[in-house]
Amino acid sequence: MPRVTRRHLALALKVAVAISLTALFLHYASPAQILRALRSANPWLVSTIIPLTLVCMALAALQLKILTDCHGMKVGLAQIVHINSSTEFYSLFLPGVIAGGALRWYRLSRDNQMRAQALVAIAANRALNVVALLAVGIAGWLLGDEPPGTAVFCWFLVACVVAIAVLAFVLRHPRFASSLRARPGGRRLLPSRLYAGWLKMLDALREYRRIPPLERARMMAYVVGWQLANVLGTYLLCLALDMDVGMGTIAWIRAMLGLALMLPITVGGFGIREGGWIYFLAFHSVAPADAFALSLLTFVRTLFQAMIGFALEIRTLFRLAARG
């Protein structure tokens, strides 16, 4: 099967899964009940989406800039905001690997041609955010008053943190790099070109040792602050919908949903996000319609950032047209 056909088939399957899951959850939460919940939401609390999203955008850009500055990449803060927000826009209809990975990598390395450093910066930034997401989720479960039946989710988050730590140790271990190079019979596990790229990425990763302790602390404050701002924003949306859910509960549910949304089985996370909120909030006796409404409001936050990215892309196109 041609590559383009396979790609189109995969996209069609993701759309079908998203539609099927959304339709399934709409069976438990009727559209009329969801609309009723949305109409009764406090508009002032819902409007907090805007300033908190802007805060999150700033924090995300600041943490990535520290990583790019360490490599000597000449990427401005405004440019990083543009890249991040446009990534959210393209993620609405493109696979996450393309929008969140390839496109962001191309934009970061386009001007400075530091491809390995850009890839490492993106990977490190992603890894830090995932670890912070899991850590905040674990802390939220421990500090919150959670039902006993949810303990398995906390242990799952702990297992994920341990797995990430083990993976990071293995990838950075010298024996792992040598195992890619030396094989019986003089052959390598990786082709020469890929092995050379791997060495470049290892060298780029070692450059993070030069980040001063104060700068590292500041970067971690940005990473954790970004997660806490998102938790706060979701908590305010719960208050807007008159839902009795604590911030600790929201923290660990966001961590579980964050892991689930990494699965490339739907478009834009539709179906998974709605089903996750319905399932996890059921432990706190939240009605499916209210959980579905909360999911839609959290998506509005993503949509708002995506629209900023769209506006920035249009502005760039007009500037290029004017120059041409």
pLDDT tens for residues 110-169?
777 788 888 888 888 999 999 999 999 999 999 988 988 899 999 999 999 999 988 877
E strand or H helix at 133:
helix 115-143
Burial of 272 (0-12, 13-18, 19+ CB in 10 A): buried
Is the Cα dihedral 55, 57, 58, 59 positive or negative? positive
Q: Is the pLDDT of residue 96 over 60?
A: no
pLDDT value for 293: 92
pLDDT tens for residues 183-222?
544 455 556 666 666 677 777 777 888 889 999 999 999 9
pLDDT value for 275: 85
CB 233 within 8 A of CB 301: yes
Highest mean pLDDT among 10-14, 165-169, 234-238: 234-238
CB 25 within 8 A of CB 288: yes
State how far the Cα of 282 lies from the Cα of 280, in Å rounded to an integer. 5
What confidence category does residue 5 fall into, taking pLDDT thresholds of 50, 70 and 90? low
pLDDT value for 14: 62
Question: What values do phi and psi take at 207, rounded to 5?
Answer: -65, -20
Q: Is the pLDDT of residue 182 over 50?
A: no
pLDDT value for 71: 86
pLDDT value for 8: 58
E strand or H helix at 170:
helix 151-172
pLDDT tens for residues 243-280?
989 999 999 999 999 998 887 766 667 778 888 899 89
pLDDT value for 181: 53
Q: Bigger pLDDT: 21 or 61?
A: 61
- What is the pTM assigned to this prediction? 0.86
| Mean pLDDT to the nearest integer, 33-50 | 92
Burial of 308 (0-12, 13-18, 19+ CB in 10 A): buried
Average pLDDT, the chain: 83
Using the structure block, give the residue that is written with the tokens 């271990």. 173
**DSSP line for 53-93:** HHHHHHHHHHHHHHHHHHTT----HHHHHHHHHHHHHHTTT
